[in-house]
């Protein structure tokens, strides 16, 4: 009964808003058309003017399978629309004289290191806030290799290569917002999540909002995320746990909660006459801090121009009106939070469709009415663009072919590619053999390695225990590398397009061997007058060569061992017909040497 009352209240609340503004009369027809042409499960939208909510309504379904409708209190992941919250924390701390935006971030995070000394010495906090560090995205680092430890995630930046100089070019980078969140944690002694809650959620009465996927999963009236496959199949996606990258995009909220955030920004940082964000910060954050691009307007929309960035906000001119906005995309969800400061208008759109056009289409459709601009049929324009795109893709598909070299094969047997592959700027992943094929897992998702040519494989998704063969020829490729000894020593993946392929070093997979088996290798072996000693210590096999340190050996197969500290060096023991070990083969980059057992 209680749920029914709440649901009824949401409906009445929505109807009340709907009836309040004549500019939006009949808007549902246009918004339903957007829902139809995008084939989206659902979305919610809210509009504010000054300090009032003038419209709020849900469309479609938060749970598509069970046809549970979206309402104004439905929770959605807002993704990178969280960024304005993170930078605003620093705005509050600056007003309290806890930091300056001109500070080097290492002043507050002494252990933070960047790729080179120029970056270590010259990057300032402002560069983190406006994406001007010179780093490309490196999103594969946190997306494929997540961790809840913000400090260890941020430590990866030391190994991430820049593509340009500091303040030379704007380029979107989530690690800069992670760093802002960690700076605030160091200063306040509280987690980013607690800072968000105490500084914004609680004083604004954003009681439905949260900042973790675990809270999203346990919340009532939360939307599920969906993916549109082949333009007509709506498929549910798993919630993505952004983990330690939370300051860049972990907030989950409803459009009604987000109206309070918009009202605060439109009213110079105040909500119900109480300062939430310093007005001086508001002015700076929504002003141009860096130019994104300098393209001139197109002929169809000559009054849509300007493409700059503030602090956690994109800045554009929309049909002659100054617009501040930021989108958000995370698995199964898309968002847009926008306001027009000189018009006192704010619009928030939250959708449960992956990589969706819904937020921008709804925002623009409503903005045209609210700011009194000439109305564009954004839904129809999107529909026409989709048809053109489909036609172009069909033509490209007819003309394209897989560009691999035919009739080639890998240089090694399947087992030789197994092991752990590591990069300090990204993380680790393991490759293993299953049914004579190579597989891996990244962030819980299974990957099949399809041979492309030579030592290049494609990383193909496995869904419901089925290999997605539609990805053949189009998937991310992994290029295995060999060392001077001919062993597979690592692999390169083009995870970041603006820098060289990311190289992962291979550590061979090891097998467990019991103490009795290890002891059969113990003894002395003679090689060209030199006695090599093999012995067991603390259930581990070691090799000692006179004049050198002892070498720990790792078992990789029957009678086969790799050196733990030397790449390309291996040992293979030779067994006689009677089962006794009679020789030791030392396999090195400069050759193979046989030592006879004494």
Looking at residues 550-576, what average pLDDT do you find? 91
pLDDT classification of 6: cutoffs 50, 70, 90: very low
Cα separation, 551 vs 562, in Å, equals 10
In this model, does residue 2 exceed pLDDT 60? no
CATH of 9-391, one of 3.50.50.60, 3.40.50.1010, 3.20.20.70, 3.40.710.10: 3.40.710.10
Helix H or strand E segment including 161: none
Looking at residues 452-472, what average pLDDT do you find? 94
Phi, psi for 37 (deg, rounded to 5): -70, -25
pLDDT at 4: 35
Cα separation, 4 vs 8, in Å, equals 6
464 or 559, which is more confident? 559
- What angle is formed at CA 277 by the lines to CA 254 and CA 368, rounded to 5 degrees? 55
In this model, does residue 94 exceed pLDDT 60? yes
> Is the domain covering 515-597 a CATH 2.40.128.50 domain?
yes
Cα separation, 153 vs 103, in Å, equals 22
Q: Read off the tokens for 274.
A: 């109480």
Q: In the 8-state DSSP scheme, what is residue 465?
A: T
Looking at residues 249-255, what average pLDDT do you find? 98
pLDDT digits (tens, 9 = 90+) for 339-381: 999 999 999 999 999 999 999 999 999 999 999 999 999 999 9
Q: What is the pTM of this model?
A: 0.87
Q: What is the 3-state secondary structure (H, E, C) of 369-407?
A: HHCCCCCCCHHHHHHHHHHHHHHHHHHHHHHCCCCCCCC
Best CA proximity match to 232, nearest among 37, 467, 31: 37
Helix (H, G, I), strand (E, B) or coil at 285: helix
pLDDT classification of 400: cutoffs 50, 70, 90: low
Q: How far apart are the first and last CA of the chain?
A: 86
Determine what percent of the chain is predicted with pLDDT higher than 70. Answer: 95
pLDDT digits (tens, 9 = 90+) for 97-125: 999 999 999 999 999 999 999 999 999 99
pLDDT digits (tens, 9 = 90+) for 279-310: 999 999 999 999 998 888 777 777 778 899 99
In this model, does residue 14 exceed pLDDT 50? no
Phi, psi for 25 (deg, rounded to 5): -60, 130
Report whether 336 contacts 349 (CB < 8 A): yes
Looking at residues 218-230, what average pLDDT do you find? 95
Q: 465-477: string of b/e by CB count within 10 Å (b at 16+)?
A: eebeeeeeeebeb
pLDDT at 401: 64
DSSP string of 173-198, one letter each residue: -THHHHHHHHHHHHHHSS-HHHHHII
Report whether 442 contacts 143 (CB < 8 A): no
9-391 against 515-597: fold identical: no
pLDDT classification of 485: cutoffs 50, 70, 90: confident
pLDDT at 20: 60
HSE-up (13 A, CA, CB side) for residue 340: 24
pLDDT at 484: 86
pLDDT classification of 415: cutoffs 50, 70, 90: confident
Q: In the 8-state DSSP scheme, what is residue 200?
A: I
In this model, does residue 558 exceed pLDDT 70? yes
Q: Read off the tokens for 279.
A: 């007005």
Q: What is the 3-state secondary structure (H, E, C) of 333-376?
A: EEEEEEEECCCCEEEEEEECECCCCHHHHHHHHHHHHHCCCCCC
In this model, does residue 3 exceed pLDDT 80? no
CB atoms within 10 A of CB 119: 19
Report whether 422 contacts 509 (CB < 8 A): no
pLDDT at 389: 83
Residues in Cβ contact with 13 at an 8 Å cutoff, skipping those fewer than 6 apart? 56, 72, 256
Cα separation, 46 vs 298, in Å, equals 29
Report whether 79 contacts 329 (CB < 8 A): yes
Cα separation, 313 vs 534, in Å, equals 64
pLDDT digits (tens, 9 = 90+) for 500-520: 999 999 998 888 899 999 999
pLDDT classification of 402: cutoffs 50, 70, 90: confident
pLDDT classification of 399: cutoffs 50, 70, 90: low
In this model, does residue 170 exceed pLDDT 80? yes
Q: What is the 3-state secondary structure (H, E, C) of 480-517?
A: EEECCCCCEEEEEECCCCCCCCEEEEEECCCCCCCHHH
pLDDT at 367: 98
In this model, does residue 595 exceed pLDDT 80? yes
Cα separation, 446 vs 430, in Å, equals 11
pLDDT digits (tens, 9 = 90+) for 26-37: 999 999 999 999
Residues in Cβ contact with 270 at an 8 Å cutoff, skipping those fewer than 6 apart? 264, 276, 279
User: Mean pLDDT score of the chain, rounded to an integer?
Assistant: 93
Q: Name which CATH class applies to 414-507.
A: mainly beta
Looking at residues 184-190, what average pLDDT do you find? 98
Looking at residues 512-532, what average pLDDT do you find? 95
pLDDT classification of 5: cutoffs 50, 70, 90: very low
Report whether 352 contacts 76 (CB < 8 A): yes
Report whether 134 contacts 120 (CB < 8 A): no
Domains of the chain, residue spans: 9-391, 414-507, 515-597
Residues in Cβ contact with 462 at an 8 Å cutoff, skipping those fewer than 6 apart? 439, 445, 446, 447, 448, 468
pLDDT at 500: 96
pLDDT at 264: 98
Helix (H, G, I), strand (E, B) or coil at 525: strand
Residues in Cβ contact with 240 at an 8 Å cutoff, skipping those fewer than 6 apart? 77, 213, 330, 331, 332
């Amino acid at each position: 009964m209680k749920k029914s009352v709440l649901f009824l209240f949401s409906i009445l609340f929505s109807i009340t808003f709907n009836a309040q503004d004549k500019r939006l009369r009949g808007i549902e027809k246009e918004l339903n058309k957007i829902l139809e042409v995008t084939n989206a499960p659902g979305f919610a939208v809210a509009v504010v003017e000054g300090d009032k909510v003038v419209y709020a309504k849900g469309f479609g379904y938060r749970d598509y399978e069970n046809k549970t409708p979206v309402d104004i209190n439905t929770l959605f992941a807002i993704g990178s629309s969280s960024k304005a919250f993170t930078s605003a924390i620093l705005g509050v701390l600056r007003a309290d004289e806890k930091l300056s935006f001109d500070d080097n971030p290492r002043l507050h995070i002494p252990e933070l290191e960047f790729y080179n000394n120029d970056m270590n010495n010259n990057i300032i906090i402002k560069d983190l806030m406006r994406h001007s560090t010179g780093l490309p995205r490196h999103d594969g680092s946190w997306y494929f290799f997540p961790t809840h430890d913000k400090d260890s995630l941020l430590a990866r930046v030391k190994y991430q290569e820049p593509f340009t100089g500091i303040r030379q070019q704007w380029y979107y980078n989530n690690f800069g917002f992670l760093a802002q969140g960690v700076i605030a944690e160091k200063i306040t002694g509280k987690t980013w999540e607690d800072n968000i809650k105490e500084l914004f959620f609680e004083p604004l009465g954003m009681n439905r909002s949260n900042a973790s996927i675990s809270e999203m999963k346990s919340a009532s009236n939360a939307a599920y995320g969906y993916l549109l496959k082949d333009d007509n199949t709506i498929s549910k996606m798993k919630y993505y746990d952004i983990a330690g990258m939370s300051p860049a995009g972990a907030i989950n909220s409803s459009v009604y909660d987000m109206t309070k955030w918009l009202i605060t920004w439109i009213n110079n940082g105040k909500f119900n006459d109480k300062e939430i964000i310093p007005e001086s910060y508001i002015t700076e954050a929504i002003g141009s801090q860096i130019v994104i691009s300098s393209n001139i307007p197109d002929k169809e929309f000559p009054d849509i121009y300007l493409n700059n960035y503030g602090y956690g906000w994109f800045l554009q001119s929309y049909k002659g009106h100054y617009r501040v906005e930021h989108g958000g995309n995370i698995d199964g969800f898309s968002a847009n939070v926008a306001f027009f400061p000189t018009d006192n208008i704010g619009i928030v759109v939250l959708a449960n469709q992956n990589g969706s056009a819904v937020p921008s289409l709804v925002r623009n459709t409503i903005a045209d009415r609210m700011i009194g601009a000439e109305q564009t049929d954004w839904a129809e324009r999107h529909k026409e663009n989709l048809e053109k795109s489909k036609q172009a893709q069909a033509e490209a598909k007819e003309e394209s072919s897989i560009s691999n070299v035919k009739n080639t094969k890998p240089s090694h047997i399947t087992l030789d590619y197994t092991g752990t592959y590591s990069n300090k700027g990204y993380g680790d992943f393991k490759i293993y053999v299953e049914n004579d094929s190579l597989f891996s897992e990244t962030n819980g998702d299974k990957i099949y390695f399809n041979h492309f040519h030579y030592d290049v494989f494609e990383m193909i998704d496995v869904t419901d225990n089925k290999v997605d063969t539609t990805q053949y020829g189009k998937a991310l490729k992994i290029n295995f590398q060999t060392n001077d000894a001919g062993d597979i020593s690592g692999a390169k993946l083009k995870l970041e397009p603006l820098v060289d392929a990311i190289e992962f070093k291979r550590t061979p997979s090891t097998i467990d061997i019991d103490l009795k088996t290890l002891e059969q290798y113990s003894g002395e072996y003679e090689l060209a007058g030199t006695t090599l000693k093999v012995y067991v210590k603390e259930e581990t096999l070691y090799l000692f060569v006179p004049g050198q340190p002892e070498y720990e050996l790792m078992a990789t197969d029957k009678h086969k061992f790799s050196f733990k500290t030397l790449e390309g060096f291996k040992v293979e023991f030779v067994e006689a017909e009677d089962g006794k070990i009679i020789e030791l083969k030392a396999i090195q980059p400069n050759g193979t040497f046989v030592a006879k057992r004494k």
